[in-house]
């Protein structure tokens, strides 16, 4: 169910504040969902509009969020499929009825989320760690960070490298060299084949990078207390786990929280996600 929560939007957030994000990208991964249950209907985003051409702040924001929303929904759909399958494996484990297909899928998914199945096979600690990682993210959090890191889709990294989240890489030629990179630094701002890939990489990074352990713990606690994981309140709560996303730390988190509140009229809440 979609619900637009109306609020006054402050024009002060026409541009976001850039954060500094360090992350070395591995080789490109491919994920295949293994469940027929679909809770989101999304599609990959296409070519971006020229966001710099907008003169009205509200129109610019509306266009920006409408552009990214299908891609965020697609990623949440993928993650929810993975989680549904993971919960089924957990159920089979509790029953002592793991199948060969369960074990094979667990190995593939564990490798993807950097929690590989050991020679002991599927264990309760492995399941617990995976259930902390394989879960959805609020669209308002994802799109607010995209707005902040890409200056509402107008930054050089967004327009030339499809990079909306400030992701870094460390192999020569892997992206664009920042114009104000410090002497001795070797990082580049990662270049992606598509904006959808940038969204996907953001999801995988937040869901498995040790820097965002706190975010995953906040999300897990909300899950345990049967609180929404996808509304704007969840987004605000999860920002407390992003202190390491930017060198600005707490100031960066406060900026995100303020942006989420000021742009509340644009968010879509899915109230039927309980898994």
Token code pair at residue 241 = 């786990």
- In angstroms, the CA 257 to CA 220 distance is 20
Ranges of each domain in the chain:
56-177+185-266
Write down the pLDDT at residue 184: 67
Which two structure tokens, joined as six digits, stand for 226?
């049967």
128 contact partners, CB below 8 Å, separation of at least 6: none
Report whether 153 contacts 164 (CB < 8 A): yes
- Residue 175, SS3 per DSSP: strand
- pLDDT for res 272: 42
pTM of the model: 0.83
CB neighbour burial string for 156-192, b if at least 16 within 10 angstroms, e if fewer: ebbbebbbbbbbbbeeeebbeeeeeeeeeeebbbbbb
Angle (CA) 212 214 220, round 5°: 110
> Which two tokens mark 94?
């509790």
| pLDDT tens digit sequence for 143-155 | 999 999 999 999 9
Architecture of the domain made up of 56-177+185-266: Orthogonal Bundle (1.10)
* DSSP letters for 115-170: ---BTTBS-HHHHHHHHHHS----HHHHHHHHHHHHTTTTSHHHHHH--SS--EE-
Encoded tokens for 270: 């899915």
Q: What is the pLDDT of residue 231?
A: 95
Give pLDDT, residue 269: 58
Residues of the chain with pLDDT under 50: 1-41, 272-275
């Amino acid at each position: 169910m979609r619900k637009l929560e109306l609020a006054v939007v402050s024009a002060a957030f026409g541009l976001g504040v850039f954060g500094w994000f360090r992350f070395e990208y591995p080789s490109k991964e491919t994920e295949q969902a293994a469940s027929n249950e679909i809770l989101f209907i999304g599609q990959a985003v296409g070519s971006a509009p020229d966001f710099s051409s907008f003169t009205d702040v509200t129109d610019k924001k509306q266009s920006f969020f409408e552009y990214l929303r299908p891609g965020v929904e697609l990623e949440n759909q993928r993650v929810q499929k993975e989680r549904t399958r993971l919960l089924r494996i957990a159920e089979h484990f509790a029953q002592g009825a793991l199948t060969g297909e369960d074990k094979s899928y667990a190995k593939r998914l564990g490798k993807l989320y950097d929690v590989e199945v050991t020679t002991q096979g599927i264990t309760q600690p492995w399941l617990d760690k995976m259930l902390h990682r394989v879960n959805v993210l609020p669209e308002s959090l994802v799109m607010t960070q995209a707005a902040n890191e890409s200056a509402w889709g107008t930054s050089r990294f967004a327009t030339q490298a499809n990079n909306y989240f400030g992701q870094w890489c460390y192999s020569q030629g892997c992206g664009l060299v920042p114009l104000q990179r410090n002497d001795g630094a070797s990082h580049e701002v990662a270049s992606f084949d598509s904006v959808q890939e940038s969204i996907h990489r953001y999801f995988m990074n937040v869901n498995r990078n040790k820097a965002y352990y706190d975010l995953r713990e906040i999300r897990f606690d909300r899950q345990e207390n049967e609180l929404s994981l996808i509304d704007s309140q969840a987004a605000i709560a999860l920002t407390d786990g992003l202190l390491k996303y930017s060198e600005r730390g707490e100031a960066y988190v406060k900026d995100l929280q303020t942006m989420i509140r000021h742009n509340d009229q644009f968010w879509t809440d899915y109230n039927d996600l309980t898994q």
